[in-house]
Amino acid sequence: MNLKLIFRKLQSFKHKKNNLIYNFLIILLIGSPLYYLNSETLDFNWPILTDSLSNRLTSLFGESRGDHFHNGVDISSDNENILSIGSGTIVYSRYMSDNPFSGEFGSGNCIWINHGNGMLSAYYHLKEGREDDFLNRRIIKKGDVIGKTGNTGHSSGSHLHFIIAKENGRRIINPLTILSKVEDSKPPFIGSLILTNGENYTYINDGENINISREFPITINIHDTGEKSGQKRGVHIVEFSVNNKVIKKSKFDSISLEGQYWTNETGLRFDDLYYKGNYYIGDLNFRSGQNNIEVRAEDFNGNQSIKYFTFNVNRIK
């Protein structure tokens, strides 16, 4: 499959609401065996050199994006050099200047690199203006400057959206599982339980008494701040137990396309894990009398939080 055909196929996926499908289409197309290097080991670096990476990771892998999983990590940055995480070949590069009459994709200006052995990396929202002679540089070395961070495409502020994929794109992996460790000493925050009835919300705290007539969606706000106060990032692992029985566990080391749906390694689809912006425990039909819910959350550095809720339910007709 040649690059011109790839570009034409990509042009058909412009709508931002199709972002997830568009991302996967890119991966499948560029995953074709165009060029291969003989990579023997994974020895990748972060794409931006900074001493404050822990404060600049604004979004992590697996977070909710309204209707799909966040498939990479976001690094807050403006007009900084972007470095290739490893050696490889350029398999796709798209800038607005290539076709100024066409609307931008959700990714904005972007570059994909094939590192061999089925490993790919992608860099989104790049500033306009390619590096000199970039299109003639088929081979990229680890640490080479490939562009500058910007705010193109579907972006609310200057940052780099960064993706790593395996198996020629059939599996997207969490960069935090293979890159150097980022400082994070603070455990995740766990908020109140939330009972949702249409557009109405009821918060359930430990020791509450509630009246219910049927099952309702129960969610909870969980986030990780990292070292920077005020940040609200996703977590690595969540586990929910209801009345002393584990009913759901999620872990985000990777996501894979199973049929028409992306799932994480615990087999959960997006709608299995998120509901209206919060973590989804389930549609629960509480028994009359005392009920309990245990919530466990762990960040990507292993910091863990546990919160227990015990509450009394009055079943009404």
Tens-level pLDDT at each residue, the chain (317 residues): 344 443 333 333 333 344 444 454 444 444 444 444 444 457 899 999 988 898 999 999 999 999 999 999 999 999 999 999 999 999 988 888 887 667 567 899 999 999 999 999 999 999 998 888 887 887 899 999 999 999 998 888 899 999 999 988 889 999 999 999 999 999 999 999 999 999 999 999 999 999 999 999 999 999 998 888 888 999 999 999 999 999 999 999 999 988 889 999 999 999 999 999 999 999 999 999 999 999 999 999 999 999 999 999 999 87
What pLDDT, on a 0 to 100 scale, did the predictor assign at position 257?
87
Q: Which pLDDT score is estimated for 103?
A: 58
Residue at 301: amino acid letter? N
Q: What is the model's pLDDT at position 32?
A: 41
* Cα–Cα distance for residue pair 298/132, rounded to 1 Å: 44
pLDDT of residue 150: 95
Output the pLDDT for position 248. Answer: 98
Rounded CA-CA distance 106/26 in Å is 12
Please give the C-alpha separations between residue 100 and each of 16, 107, 109, 128, in angstroms, as whole numbers: 18, 15, 12, 11
Work out whether strand 171-173 and strand 81-83 pair parallel, antiparallel, or are unpaired. unpaired
CATH number of 189-315: 2.60.40.10
CA-CA distances (angstroms) from residue 313 to 115, 165, 210, 309?
A: 56, 46, 5, 12
CATH topology (fold) of 3-177: Glucose Permease (Domain IIA) (2.70.70)
- The pLDDT assigned to 223 comes to 96
Annotated domain spans of the chain: 3-177, 189-315
| Three-class SS of the chain | CCHHHHHHHHHCCCCHHHHHHHHHHHHHHHCCCCCCCCCCCCCCCCCCCCCCHHHHEEECCCCECCCCECCCEEEECCCCEEECCCCEEEEEEECHHHCCCCCCCCCCEEEEEEEECCEEEEEEEECCCCCCCHHHCCEECCCCEEEEEECCCCCCCCEEEEEEEEHHHCEEECHHHCCCCCCCCCCCEEEEEEEEECCEEEEECCCCEEEECCCEEEEEEEEECCCCCCCCECCCEEEEEECCEEEEEEECCEEEEECCEEEECCCCCHHHHEECCEEEEEEECCCCEEEEEEEEEECCCCCEEEEEEEEEEEECC
